[in-house]
Amino acid sequence: MGKKALYNAKSKKDVTVAITRTLSINLHKRLHKATFKNKAPKAIKQIREQAQRVMFTNDVRVDPEVNKFIWEHGIRNVARRVKLTLERKKNEEDDENVNKMYTLVKLAEL
pLDDT digits 0-9 by tens, 66-94 = 999 999 999 999 999 999 999 999 988 76
d(CA 105, CA 107): 7
pLDDT for the residue 6: 47
pLDDT at 7 over 60: no
Q: What is the pLDDT at residue 73?
A: 97
**Confidence (pTM):** 0.84
State the CB neighbour count (10 A cutoff) for residue 65. 11
- What domains, with CATH codes, occur in the chain? 18-107 (3.10.440.10)
In total, the chain counts a number of residues equal to: 110
* Cα–Cα distance measured from residue 70 to residue 78, given in angstroms and rounded to the nearest whole number: 6
